[in-house]
C-alpha cells in the first residue's frame, strides 16, 4: 500500500503546503531566464493556424449540474486573462503565469477537479478544460510544448470533440503548468471565447508558416493492472506542406497514459498484466 502524503494524514496542513508551493513556483518562474508572454491585444493577427471548440457542460460526471455552471463561471474568469495574448518570437507561454490572480476581483467557485486520482469538488475547479483545449490548439502550430502533464485518471467519458484520444493537459497551481515556447520568427496569438455552452479557441499568426498539422493516434492499448484499467496511446503530429498538401514529417509528440474510471465498450480488448 502506498504511503499517504502528510497532507492526506493531516488535511489541515494542506492550505499551508499550497501557499509554500505557490511561493516557490512563482519565485522560480521569476528567475528561470524565460521571457513570458504578457501582452494582450484586442486587434487579432490575420492568419488562422487552427480553430476548435468543445462543449463546456458534461452530463456524465455523476455530480450535480451546479458544478458545471460553476465551471463555466471559472472558465470565463480565466479566459479573460488569455484572450488576445500575443506570444512573440523567443517568448514562453505559461498557463499559470497568465491565469494566476484571475479571481482577484471576483472569486472562483467550487467545481470538479481531479485531486490525488479522485474526482472531487474544489475551489477553482474546471480550468483543465482550457488547458486541454490549449494543448489541442498548440499541437497544430510550429511552437514547442515544453511542459505538459496528462490526467492520471479519467472518471467519465470525454465530451464530444474533434481531438483524438490522449490530447489533454492537466494544471495545478504550484505543481503542474502547461507551457509552450515560440522558437520561430512568427508572432502567435490566442483567441478564447465562450458562448452559453461552448468554449471556442483559435490560434493566430502574423503570416502563414507554409505548413499545416494533423494530429492522430497510434498504438492504442488497454491493460488490466493493479491500478485498474490503463489506457495508453501515442499522440502523433503529421506536418504537411501547405502548397502541395504532402506529408513532410511525422513525429510522436508524447505517449499518454491514464487510468480509466468508467466501463469501456463491450468487446474492448484488454491486455492482462501483473
Cα–Cα distance, 7 to 3 (Å, whole number): 12
117 in any annotated domain: yes
Q: Which residue has the higher pLDDT, 234 or 58?
A: 234
User: Per mean pLDDT, which range of 19-28, 157-166, 238-247 is the poorest?
Assistant: 157-166
Cα–Cα distance, 87 to 139 (Å, whole number): 15
Range of the domain at 42: 9-57+64-209
221 DSSP β-pair partners: 232
Q: Is 111 helix (H, G, I), strand (E, B) or coil?
A: strand
Q: Which residue has the higher pLDDT, 274 or 165?
A: 165
pLDDT at 150 over 80: yes
pLDDT of 14: 67
Grid coordinates in use for 18?
499550497
pLDDT of 167: 96
85 in any annotated domain: yes
50 in any annotated domain: yes
pLDDT of 238: 98
272 DSSP β-pair partners: 224
pLDDT at 1 over 60: no
- Nearest Cα to Cα of residue 255 among 229, 218, 224, 226: 218
Burial of 116 (0-12, 13-18, 19+ CB in 10 A): exposed
Q: Which residue has the higher pLDDT, 107 or 10?
A: 107
pLDDT of 157: 79
Average pLDDT of the chain is 92
pLDDT of 47: 98
87 in any annotated domain: yes
pLDDT of 274: 66
pLDDT at 194 over 70: yes
Query: Going by C-beta distance under 8 Å and a sequence separation of 6 or more, which residues neighbour residue 106?
Result: 77
Average of pLDDT values for 37-65?
92
88 in any annotated domain: yes
246 in any annotated domain: no
137 in any annotated domain: yes
pLDDT of 57: 86
- Nearest Cα to Cα of residue 179 among 29, 44, 23: 29
Q: How far is CA 270 from CA 107, 152, 235, in A?
A: 44, 19, 20
Query: Going by C-beta distance under 8 Å and a sequence separation of 6 or more, which residues neighbour residue 230?
Result: 222, 223, 224, 257, 258, 259, 260
pLDDT at 230 over 80: yes
pLDDT at 2 over 60: no
Number of domains in the chain: 1
Burial of 162 (0-12, 13-18, 19+ CB in 10 A): exposed
230 in any annotated domain: no
Amino acid at each position: 500500500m502506498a504511503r499517504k502524503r502528510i497532507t492526506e494524514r493531516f488535511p489541515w496542513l494542506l492550505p499551508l503546503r499550497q501557499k509554500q508551493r505557490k511561493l516557490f513556483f512563482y519565485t522560480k518562474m521569476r528567475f528561470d531566464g524565460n521571457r513570458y508572454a504578457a501582452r494582450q491585444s484586442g486587434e487579432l493577427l490575420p492568419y488562422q493556424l487552427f480553430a476548435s471548440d468543445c462543449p463546456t457542460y458534461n452530463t456524465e460526471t455523476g455530480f450535480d449540474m451546479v458544478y458545471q455552471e460553476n465551471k463555466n463561471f471559472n472558465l470565463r474568469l480565466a479566459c479573460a486573462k488569455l484572450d488576445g495574448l500575443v506570444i512573440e518570437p523567443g517568448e514562453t507561454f505559461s498557463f499559470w503565469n497568465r491565469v494566476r490572480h484571475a479571481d482577484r476581483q471576483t472569486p472562483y467557485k467550487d467545481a470538479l477537479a481531479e485531486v490525488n486520482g479522485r474526482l472531487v469538488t474544489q475551489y477553482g475547479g474546471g480550468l483543465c478544460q482550457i488547458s486541454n483545449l490549449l494543448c489541442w490548439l498548440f499541437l497544430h502550430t510550429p511552437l514547442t510544448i515544453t511542459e505538459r502533464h496528462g490526467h492520471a485518471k479519467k472518471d467519465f467519458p470525454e465530451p464530444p470533440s474533434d481531438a483524438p484520444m490522449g490530447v489533454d493537459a492537466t494544471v495545478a497551481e504550484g505543481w503542474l503548468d502547461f507551457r509552450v515556447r515560440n522558437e520561430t520568427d512568427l508572432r502567435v496569438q490566442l483567441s478564447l471565447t465562450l458562448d452559453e455552452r461552448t468554449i471556442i479557441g483559435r490560434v493566430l499568426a502574423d503570416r502563414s508558416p507554409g505548413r499545416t498539422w494533423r494530429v492522430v493516434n497510434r498504438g492504442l492499448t488497454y491493460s488490466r493492472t493493479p491500478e485498474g484499467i490503463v489506457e495508453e496511446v501515442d499522440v502523433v503530429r503529421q506536418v504537411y506542406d501547405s502548397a502541395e498538401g504532402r506529408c513532410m514529417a511525422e513525429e510522436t509528440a508524447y505517449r499518454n497514459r491514464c487510468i480509466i474510471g468508467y466501463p469501456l465498450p463491450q468487446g474492448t480488448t484488454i491486455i492482462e498484466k501483473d
